[in-house]
């Protein structure tokens, strides 16, 4: 059944049963805010719902600021005094600024808000600080979300978020458009690296840690920021093209089983704001869906915070999606659907005038407008902006401790996928050839949203850090390192796909005089629409480079520096070792060098399934029918699920043995708590970290069950020869699923619990 139809049915039933109050009835009433709302005119209320980009109020042509950056007091005054604009986002001219500049920018805005507006309401400033304070020059750049997921280390993720919050707030920005809780299920999608991978439970756990790290115990702090979940909901499931912002077809079962749980858990954790999916689900733009925004998010999940659009997405209802015949109709649809704040970002006068008209015409009710304004002002109040709209610059926040944390996160993210004949670790006197387009670039190890939107300005800001090549030269000694890229990116090209200076033969010739080749392949930086792909295969030039170097007979360590898994099937077997760095930030090179030489034992695990074929993009929690066993009497045409590396895969320089899997009881009912324990022993010669994963399989159900699902995980450290008992608690709720009627149920029957190669079958009683 259509997602929207099912949601409408569920919401209608709730209303008939009298258990779904208006979302405005449940939003916190703060006396200070309520008094302010009573004083506000319709125009002042409408202005609070408008969010503009910084370029609009700086000197320039309105879409691109002059350099050096200068605030334009007249433009600020027009926006804040005449049109009562309540929020500003982004950076000017798409580039990072130092802390002093950010202080000047925000102070200039707040000065007008507090001195020249009637009610002295401060402006709420927001930014995409997704792996560090993205647009602050001094910021610590942590691994991107996909790499943080690969650490499987909740505490590291929490600490990275905490550090990011402190550095973002020190930049006078109290609102962070992060984390992304979309499923990373389609590697064609250019935003996969912004996710925590493909598994709903892993995403949920990491998402909560980020929110705790950003928001702390008190939003009114100089070291915390308001988090913003994105993108609610279903953004990452793309019907056919795999390209950004293209339509999705999602059943209600799939929406609720896989997409909704991370958002539900994040809302329960107290997240302050939510950003809406820019795309369409089943033909309906999410920004126009009352069923999704108000019915599902605000009513069912009980979200009482601020709902903001993505970039220009109300305008897109008219300009792109053609569901609104005018901009006025687009605003009516979105605002009545439950949008509280519109990221306009340029045409704010039109938005303001039209929403004022709609309110006067009663096409948008005063109740709806007050609800939106209440949510906005509540957040400003909780952030302490009325009493402290600006914080003094504090460069001490950008500390060596944060840099050490970023290095640690990179070292735990980097994942050893293959290590034939124990090639790794390498001796530091090994003579190596370093090749490939990703070997000598700070841009590629950081990815997009790094000092600029597409990451093209990284080299300007990251000069104090080491590229992979520079780290290897330090580690092995310059005399032992030969650098011949063979293929290079055209960083000045029109797209991130452009490559130039292709001289594969030069790299092949250089390989004759070395012991080992370290081949650094992957992707140039991109994000969102500019990162769209038409072919998931790694580039032809890089593939040819790998194949030709393999013909030399020299051992090859393939280093993959990529935001999504690109197909390497044609040469993977000829690589002796394969290491995935993802986009692990400014410390990628140093962490990788320490792993390659054994100073750090790799402990990363894949947070997604690495595909072998472009036409076999299947998650680990697929259905049994997708395994395509050949029917009796038929020829075996090789059907089935193929992957290069499985979800959760990752090797170590030591070995771990699992034994004594024990479940507290073989039979249980819906009220029982089960305890599952297993002994893990480090049977190797060096200390290492291991991720212990508990999976469950429903043997039979009324709806075809997934092959298996991740239920719990823990990352432990074991010295050589050490054994630890790991214990997990689970209940009947952990075996629930969305049935054909759209209800979450747990059905009686048998389930298999598995950890590593061990398994036990248990039974849920009627």
The pLDDT tens digits of the residues spanning 702-757 come to 999 999 999 999 999 999 999 999 999 999 999 999 999 999 999 999 999 999 99
Domain match, 88 and 69 both: yes
Structure-block tokens of residue 377:
């002002």
Mean pLDDT of 333-337: 98
**Contact predicate 140/191, CB 8 Å:** no
Structure-block tokens of residue 666:
């073989």
Mean pLDDT of 370-393: 97
pLDDT in tens, 470-529: 999 999 999 999 999 999 999 888 888 899 889 999 999 999 999 999 999 999 999 999
Distances (CA, A) of 195 to 150, 192, 202, 271, 681: 11, 6, 11, 17, 32
Check: pTM over 0.85? Answer yes or no.
yes
**Contact predicate 179/275, CB 8 Å:** no
CATH number at residue 258: 3.20.20.300
Residue 178 in domain: yes
Residue 160: give the domain boundaries: 3-392
Mean pLDDT of 673-687: 98
Identify the pLDDT of residue 636.
53
Residue 646 in domain: no
Identify the pLDDT of residue 62.
65
Identify the pLDDT of residue 637.
54
What is the maximal distance between C-alpha atoms in the chain? 83
Domain match, 307 and 430 both: no
Mean pLDDT of 419-434: 97
Mean pLDDT of 212-221: 97
Domain match, 673 and 599 both: no
pLDDT in tens, 578-604: 999 999 999 999 999 999 999 999 999
Domain match, 73 and 174 both: yes
Residue 41 in domain: yes
Domain match, 670 and 595 both: no
Is the predicted pLDDT of residue 137 greater than 50, yes or no?
A: yes
Catalogue the active-site residues: 310
Domain match, 387 and 474 both: no
User: For residue 312, which of 337, 278, 289 has the smallest C-alpha distance?
Assistant: 278
Is the predicted pLDDT of residue 220 greater than 70, yes or no?
A: yes
CATH number at residue 587: 3.40.50.1700
Is the predicted pLDDT of residue 379 greater than 50, yes or no?
A: yes
Residue 110 banded pLDDT, cuts 50, 70, 90: very high
Residue 241 banded pLDDT, cuts 50, 70, 90: confident
For all residues of the chain together, what is the average pLDDT? 94
Mean pLDDT of 133-142: 97
Residue 394 banded pLDDT, cuts 50, 70, 90: confident
Is the predicted pLDDT of residue 215 greater than 60, yes or no?
A: yes
Residue 17 banded pLDDT, cuts 50, 70, 90: very low
Mean pLDDT of 278-284: 95
Q: 219 in helix, strand or coil?
A: coil
Residue 61 banded pLDDT, cuts 50, 70, 90: low
Q: 127 in helix, strand or coil?
A: strand
Residue 64 banded pLDDT, cuts 50, 70, 90: confident
Identify the pLDDT of residue 760.
98
Domain match, 422 and 382 both: no
Measured from the Cβ of residue 118, the count of other Cβ atoms closer than 10 Å reads 11
- Taking the C-alpha atoms of residue 474 and residue 491, their distance in angstroms, rounded to an integer, is 25
Domain match, 388 and 404 both: no
Identify the pLDDT of residue 626.
85
Domain match, 127 and 38 both: yes
Residue 639 banded pLDDT, cuts 50, 70, 90: low
Q: Where is the domain boundary, 392, 422, 445?
A: 392
pLDDT in tens, 396-408: 999 999 999 999 9
Residue 238 banded pLDDT, cuts 50, 70, 90: confident
Structure-block tokens of residue 243:
């390209």
Residue 499 in domain: yes
Residue 634 in domain: no
Using DSSP bridges, classify how beta strands 643-645 and 673-682 pair: parallel, antiparallel or unpaired: unpaired
CATH number at residue 695: 2.60.40.10
Residue 160 in domain: yes
Residue 637 in domain: no
* Concatenated DSSP letters of 135-167: TBTT---PPPHHHHHHHT-HHHHHHHHHHHHHH
pLDDT in tens, 648-670: 999 999 999 999 999 999 999 99
Residue 648 in domain: no
Domain match, 387 and 410 both: no
Residue 10 banded pLDDT, cuts 50, 70, 90: very low
pLDDT in tens, 27-46: 999 999 999 999 999 999 99
- Taking the C-alpha atoms of residue 117 and residue 262, their distance in angstroms, rounded to an integer, is 40
Domain match, 556 and 410 both: yes
Domain match, 457 and 475 both: yes
Residue of 94 and 65 predicted with greater confidence: 94
pLDDT in tens, 147-198: 999 999 999 999 999 999 999 999 999 999 999 999 999 999 999 999 999 9
Q: Where is the domain boundary, 587, 611, 635?
A: 611
- Taking the C-alpha atoms of residue 652 and residue 650, their distance in angstroms, rounded to an integer, is 7
Among positive and negative, which fits the CA dihedral 301, 306, 311, 314?
Answer: positive
Order of strands across the sheet with 50-53?
A: 175-176, 124-127, 87-89, 50-53, 342-343
Q: Where is the domain boundary, 560, 594, 611?
A: 611
Identify the pLDDT of residue 5.
45
If one counts the domains in the chain, the total is 3
- Taking the C-alpha atoms of residue 440 and residue 435, their distance in angstroms, rounded to an integer, is 9
Name the DSSP class of 651.
B
Residue 410's contacts (CB-CB under 8 Å, 6 or more residues apart) are 143, 147, 581, 584, 585, 587, 588, 590, 591, 592
């Amino acid at each position: 059944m259509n997602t929207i139809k099912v949601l409408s049915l569920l919401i209608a039933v709730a209303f008939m049963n009298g258990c779904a109050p208006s979302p405005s009835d449940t939003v916190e009433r703060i006396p200070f805010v309520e008094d302010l709302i009573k004083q506000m005119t319709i125009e002042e209320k409408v202005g609070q719902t408008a969010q503009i980009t910084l370029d609009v109020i700086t000197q320039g042509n309105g879409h691109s600021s002059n350099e050096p950056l200068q605030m334009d007091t007249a433009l600020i005054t027009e926006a804040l005094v005449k049109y009562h604009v309540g929020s500003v986002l982004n950076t000017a001219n798409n580039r990072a600024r130092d802390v002093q500049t950010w202080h000047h920018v925000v102070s200039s805005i707040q000065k007008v808000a507090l001195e020249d507006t009637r009610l002295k309401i401060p402006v709420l400033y927001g930014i995409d600080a997704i792996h560090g304070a993205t647009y602050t020059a001094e910021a610590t750049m942590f691994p991107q979300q996909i790499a943080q997921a690969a650490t499987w280390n909740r505490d590291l993720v929490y600490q990275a978020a905490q550090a990011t919050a402190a550095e973002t707030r020190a930049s006078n920005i109290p609102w962070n458009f992060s984390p992304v809780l979309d499923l990373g299920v389609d590697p064609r999608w250019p935003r996969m690296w912004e996710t925590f991978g493909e598994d709903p439970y892993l995403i949920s756990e990491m998402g909560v840690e980020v929110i705790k790290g950003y928001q702390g115990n008190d939003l009114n702090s100089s070291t915390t920021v308001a988090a913003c979940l994105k993108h609610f909901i279903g953004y990452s499931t793309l019907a056919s093209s795999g390209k950004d912002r293209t339509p999705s077809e999602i059943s209600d079962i799939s929406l609720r089983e896989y997409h909704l749980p991370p958002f539900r858990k994040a809302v329960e954790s107290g997240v302050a704001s939510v950003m809406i999916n820019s795309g369409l689900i089943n033909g309906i733009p999410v920004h126009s869906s009352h069923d999704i925004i108000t019915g599902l998010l605000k009513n069912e999940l009980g979200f009482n915070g601020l709902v903001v659009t993505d970039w220009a997405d109300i305008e897109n209802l008219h300009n792109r999606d053609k569901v609104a015949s005018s901009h006025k109709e687009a605003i009516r649809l979105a605002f009545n659907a439950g949008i509280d704040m519109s990221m306009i970002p340029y045409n704010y006068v039109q938005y303001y005038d039209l929403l004022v008209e709609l309110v006067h015409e009663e096409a948008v009710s005063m109740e709806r407008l007050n609800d939106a304004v209440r949510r906005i002002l509540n957040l400003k109040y909780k952030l302490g902006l009325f009493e402290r709209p600006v914080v003094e610059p504090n460069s001490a926040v950008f500390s060596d401790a944060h840099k050490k944390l970023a290095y640690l996160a990179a070292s735990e993210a980097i994942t050893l996928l293959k290590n034939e004949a124990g090639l790794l670790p390498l001796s530091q006197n090994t003579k190596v050839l370093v090749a490939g387009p990703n070997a000598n670039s700070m841009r590629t190890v950081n990815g997009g949203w790094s000092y600029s939107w597409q990451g093209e300005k990284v080299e300007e800001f990251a000069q104090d850090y080491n590229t992979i090549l520079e780290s290897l030269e330090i580690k092995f000694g310059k005399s032992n390192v030969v650098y011949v890229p063979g293929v290079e990116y055209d960083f000045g090209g029109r797209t991130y796909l452009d490559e130039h200076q292709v001289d594969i033969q030069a790299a092949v010739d250089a390989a004759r005089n070395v012991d080992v080749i370290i081949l650094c392949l992957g992707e140039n930086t991109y994000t969102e629409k500019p990162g769209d792909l038409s072919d998931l295969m790694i580039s032809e030039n890089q593939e040819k480079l790998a194949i030709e170097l393999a013909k030399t007979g020299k051992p090859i360590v393939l280093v993959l520096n990529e935001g999504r898994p690109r197909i390497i099937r044609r040469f993977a077997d000829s690589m002796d070792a394969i290491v995935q760095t993802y986009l692990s930030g400014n410390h990628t090179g140093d962490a990788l060098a320490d792993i390659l030489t054994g100073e750090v034992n790799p402990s990363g695990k894949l947070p997604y399934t690495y595909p072998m074929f472009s036409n076999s993009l299947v998650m680990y929690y697929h259905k049994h029918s997708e395994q395509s066993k050949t029917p009796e009497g038929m020829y075996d045409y090789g059907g089935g699920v193929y992957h290069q590396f499985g979800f959760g895969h990752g090797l170590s320089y030591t070995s771990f043995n699992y034994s004594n899997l024990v479940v507290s009881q073989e039979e249980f009912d819906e009220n029982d708590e089960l305890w599952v324990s297993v002994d893990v022993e480090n049977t190797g010669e060096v200390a290492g970290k291991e991720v212990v994963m508990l999976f469950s399989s429903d043997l039979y159900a009324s709806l075809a069950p997934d092959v298996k699902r991740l239920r719990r995980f823990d990352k432990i450290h074991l010295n050589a020869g050490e054994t630890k008992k790991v214990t997990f608690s689970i209940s009947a709720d952990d075996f629930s699923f969305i049935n054909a009627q759209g209800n979450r149920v747990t059905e009686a029957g048998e389930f298999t619990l598995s950890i590593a190669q061990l398994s036990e079958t248990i039974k849920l009683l009627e």
